[in-house]
Amino acid sequence: MPRGEELYSGKAKSVFLTEDPARLVLEFRDDTSAFDGQKVDQLDRKGMINNRFNAFIMEHLEAQGVATHFDALLSDNESRVKRLDMIPAECVVRNVATGSLCRRLGVEEGLDLVPPTFEFFLKNDELHDPMINEYHIASFGWASSAEVESMKAQTFRVNEILSKLFADGGMILVDFKLEFGRFDGELLLGDEFTPDGCRLWDADTRKKLDKDRFRQGLGGVVEAYEEVALRLGVDLEATIAG
């Protein structure tokens, strides 16, 4: 299925129409950005690694009963997905305190969060993705209360499944962000799950293996993403049927 007109070009991915109105092509580019696009760079191979990594994670989640938008890998940098009506609330689960949680609440970096905590953020770059709560989502009609409950339940379920997957690869899933959307009346996990949208630490050394390497100028960004993929057994060279 060839890709058609570009629908949207985001900070790291481009979205294309296809001949099927219910399907899109996501192109994972080498572009990387942080701090609402203030820090940008091009990282050779990042798009390919993220595309294949995302396919692996989405298929793993599907196999565990989480409904996602993912259809198929189309090429090194492209995947076909179901076209969703995206909900503008980002869902974040945290197992360990770091990042904006520590800046906001002054809690100690590295504190284990038992039980894990959950936050909603409004997807809006101009407003710097402010934190919102369920009352904002209801008052502004961004999602129904059933959708809010489903997003929370699914995000916690993803946390259970992926915390185990990464632990088996010697990593701690520190936190992550998910986006959901509607498809034929059903709520599906959309967007991506890659080291661009989560934090992963080596379980022994606590070495950062995610986008914080880019945010904090630590270097070795693509090398870390590749290491994560290899630890999970993602085949970065598998032939793609298309």
Which residues, 13 to 42, sit near ligand UDP by CB under 6 A? none
* Total count of residues recorded for the chain: 242
Closest distance to ligand ADP from the beta carbon of 169 (Å)? 24
198 counts as binding ligand UDP under rule CB under 6 A: yes
Q: Is 182 in the site for ligand ADP (CB under 6 A)?
A: no
Among 54, 174, 177, 181, binds ligand ADP (CB under 6 A): 181
Closest distance of CB 154 from ligand UDP, Å: 16
The Cα–Cα gap between 207 and 225 comes to 12
Which position among 3, 13, 23, 46 is part of the footprint of ligand ADP (CB under 6 A)? 13
* Range in contact with ligand ADP (rule: CB under 6 A) among 5-13, 108-116, 144-152, 226-234: 5-13
Options 88, 99, 169, 220; binder of ligand UDP; rule CB under 6 A:
99
CA distances from 106 to 99, 100, 101, 110, 217 (A): 11, 10, 8, 12, 23
The least distance separating ligand ADP from the CB of residue 146, rounded to whole angstroms, comes to 20
Nearest to 16 by CA among 112, 38, 7: 7
Under rule CB under 6 A, residue 208 binds ligand UDP: no
What residue number has its CB nearest to ligand ADP?
10
Minimum CB–partner distance for residue 190 and ligand UDP (Å): 13
Dist CA 148 CA 204 (whole Å): 36
Element of type H or E holding 19: none
Neighbours of 35 (CB within 10 A): 9
Helices in the chain by DSSP H: which ranges? 46-63, 99-105, 134-139, 145-168, 212-215, 221-232
Question: Could you give the 3-state DSSP secondary structure of residue 241?
Answer: coil
Q: From the list ligand ADP, ligand UDP, none, pick the one residue 47 interacts with, judged by a Cβ distance below 5 to 8 Å according to partner type.
A: none
78 binds ligand UDP (CB under 6 A): no
Q: How far apart are the C-alpha atoms of 3 and 23, rounded to whole Å?
A: 10
Report the C-alpha gap between 35 and 214 in whole angstroms: 11
With tokens 């396919």, the residue in question is 55
* Residues near ligand ADP, by CB under 6 A: 8, 10-13, 15, 24, 69, 81-84, 86, 179, 181, 190-191
* Residues near ligand UDP, by CB under 6 A: 92, 99-101, 129, 175-177, 197-199, 211
